[in-house]
Chains A and B, each alone.
Chain A
Amino acid sequence: MSALDVAVTRKAYRSERGEIVALADVAFAVRAGQLACLLGPSGSGKTTLLSLIAGLDRAYDGKIRRGGDAGGRLGMVFQTPRLMPWLTARDNVCLALDPAPGSAARAEKMLADMQLGAYLDAFPCQLSGGQQRRVALARAFVNDPDLLLLDEPFQSLDAPTAQHLRDLLLALWSRRRPTILFVTHDLREALSLGDRVLFLSAGPGRVVLDLPLDLPRPRSPDGAAVEALRKRLLESYPDLLRGLASEQESAA
């Protein structure tokens, strides 16, 4: 049974320049426990799609079904950490938990798993960018979500920090096995993380390629296996991958 069924026939925005169609005929299903990456150039409607799945925006044509009772528990990591500046790291994580006697301890355990045990009482402004993202990751994981949506969560971090966070994510995923939809515009990141990569076209976004991945783990975004696959993909689908961030960089 799939944990997520997406069938969005159309999602449009009204803007000053008239109506902009962000998504057109996006359809895919993700099975429970799968780590699916959604890859697309900027403007392909990735973030829009995530907010539809999260239920933040209900103005669209089509149908989205999240598995489990009443849609199951949802975790989400946004492009920016979106921590409450007035709450400590612990309280930010507690926000995802129903107030109960054990919830603070649970949040502390989660932060300790993220190597933030020394920063429980720190406010976000006292944390580095990488630390803030780890708190955001802890907040998303702490309530054992059935479905986790991540929207380019590690962008604008330096490469070692981003890789460290990817490793943390994979460790948490292999331990708890939530279904994950990971949005990125970085082909290497997608290939190093996913069980599967869904390629979105430039706006209006459509799924143009659904690529299952069986590369052995652990993988590295700079490793030989990922690199070989990336080359093969670029040769087979040159049009498809135009506009992706990492590919523009390598072309430059």
Chain B
Amino acid sequence: MVSLRLSDAWLRSLSAVTLLVLWQAAAGAAASPLLPGPAAVATALAKLAVDGRLLTDLGITLLRVAASFALAMAAGSAIGILMGHNRRVDGLFDLWLVLGLNIPALVIIFLCYLWLGLNEVAAIVAVALNKVPNTAVILREGARAVDRDLLQVADVLKLSRSRRLREVYLPQLYPYLMAASRSGLSLIWKIVLVVELVGRSNGVGFQLGVYFQFFDITSILAYTASFVAVMLAIEGWAMRPLQRRLTRWRA
């Protein structure tokens, strides 16, 4: 088990190093400001972090990600669970869901800004709305798969509402909640950047837009790298351990 994990870690490091080497080699061959190498990007990153507003932008964007993530998960789960359990509600809203899944993110963003104004609420609602249908679809499947036999056990044992929820019902939805969270996080941070580019004057997305106008590819890559690093850290230090904990009962 331990040796397996070690070799797994080795493989991951090897893959990361290979990527960096290939990138450096390509940059060296191109020798152009259009493709800065990893060393140049790392230097720019350090400089932007110390002198520039990278950390502020990063913080603001992360706050937006967190807010829209929480909103989308709460609303999407509630809608999905309701649809999974009630055929009438499902019939009523299924078309809406398909519609929601297929409206382009950019359209939702424009409409939110036009209807709600160019403000923070509109930004967060726009991002959340893009994720809600996806969460709802996943949780609907989860609710449909809930094992009624186990709920009967809860009935026989006369469990309180909260124990029934915590010990019998929700554990059945955890795999679906995890799937929705992980796919949601990556979707949301991509959309947050678009929302910032279109209608905010701070955050990673806005700043990327500025660097785009200046052809500053090094800074674009530096901002991207910093954000990807944060998302990888969340995945590795929060999502994966959580998933392991929630599914440790599986053989």
Q: At the interface, yes or no: A62 with Cβ under 8 Å from chain B?
A: no
Mostly, the A contact residues are loop
Chain A residue at smallest Cβ distance from B172: A86
Spot the interface stretch: B107-115, B125-133, B155-163.
B155-163
Chain A 129-142 interface mask (CB, 8 Å, partner B; 1/0): 00000000001000
Q: Does A156 contact B (CB under 8 A)?
A: no
Residues of B within 8 A of A126 (CB): 251
B156 CB contacts on chain A under 8 angstroms = 54, 56, 74-76
Q: Flag if A87 contacts B155 (CB, 8 Å).
A: no
Residues of the A chain whose Cβ atoms lie less than 8 Å from the Cβ of B82: none
- Interface secondary structure of B, over-half rule: helix
Shortest Cβ distance from B153 into A: residue: A82
B94 within 8 A of A: no
> Are the CB atoms of B155 and A55 closer together than 8 Å?
yes
**Does B86 belong to the interface (CB within 8 Å)?**
no
Determine whether the beta carbon of A95 is less than 8 Å from that of B155: no
Which of B149, B167, B171, B251 sits near A125, CB closer than 8 Å? B251
| A114 interface residue (CB < 8 Å to B) | no
Is A59 interfacial (CB-CB < 8 Å)? no
Determine whether the beta carbon of A78 is less than 8 Å from that of B149: yes
Interface residues of A in 105-162 (CB under 8 A from B): 123-126, 139
Interface hits, A45-79 → B, CB 8 Å: 51, 54-56, 74-76, 78
Question: Is B168's CB under 8 angstroms from A84's CB?
Answer: yes
Which of B158, B167, B251 contacts A84 (CB under 8 A)? B167
Q: A78-B149, A125-B251 are in contact. Are A84 and B155 (CB under 8 A)?
A: no
Chain B 177-190 near chain A by CB (<8 Å), digits 1 or 0: 00000000000000
B150 contacts which of A51, A55, A56, A82 (Cβ < 8 Å)? A82
CA distance A124 to B249 in the complex (A): 8
How far does the alpha carbon of A74 sit from the alpha carbon of B167 in the complex, in Å?
20
The contact size tier of chain B is 10 to 19
Q: How far is the CA of A76 from the CA of B174 in the complex (A)?
A: 27
B157 touches A56 (CB 8 A): no
Residues of B within 8 A of A82 (CB): 149-150, 152-153
Q: Establish whether residues B249 and A95, one from each chain, have CB atoms under 8 Å apart when the complex forms.
A: no
| B244 CB-CB contact with A under 8 Å | no
Query: Across the interface, which residues of B come within 8 angstroms of A96, CB to CB?
Result: 157
- Give bound CA distance, A39 to B251, whole Å: 37
Interface membership of B250, Cβ < 8 A: yes
Closest Cβ–Cβ distance, residue A186 to chain B (whole Å): 23
The interface residues of chain B lying within 8 Å CB-to-CB of A124 are 249
Q: A86 touching B171 by the CB < 8 A rule? A: yes
Question: CB distance B159 to A84 under 8 Å?
Answer: no
Distance, CA A112 to CA B20, complexed state (A): 58
A188 → B minimal CB distance (Å): 28
Q: Does A2 make an interface contact (CB < 8 A)? A: no
> B157 to A86, Cβ gap below 8 A?
no
Q: Is A220 an interface residue (CB 8 A)?
A: no
- Name 10 A/B residue pairs within 8 A (Cβ), A-sorted: A51-B152, A78-B153, A84-B153, A85-B249, A86-B171, A86-B249, A87-B167, A95-B163, A95-B168, A96-B157
5 residue pairs, one from A and one from B, having the closest CB atoms: A123-B249, A125-B251, A86-B171, A86-B249, A76-B156
Residues of B within 8 A of A (CB): 149-150, 152-153, 155-159, 163, 167-168, 171, 174, 248-251
Q: A51-B152, A55-B155, A82-B150 are in contact. List 7 more A-B contacts (CB 8 A).
A: A56-B152, A74-B158, A76-B156, A82-B153, A84-B153, A84-B167, A85-B249
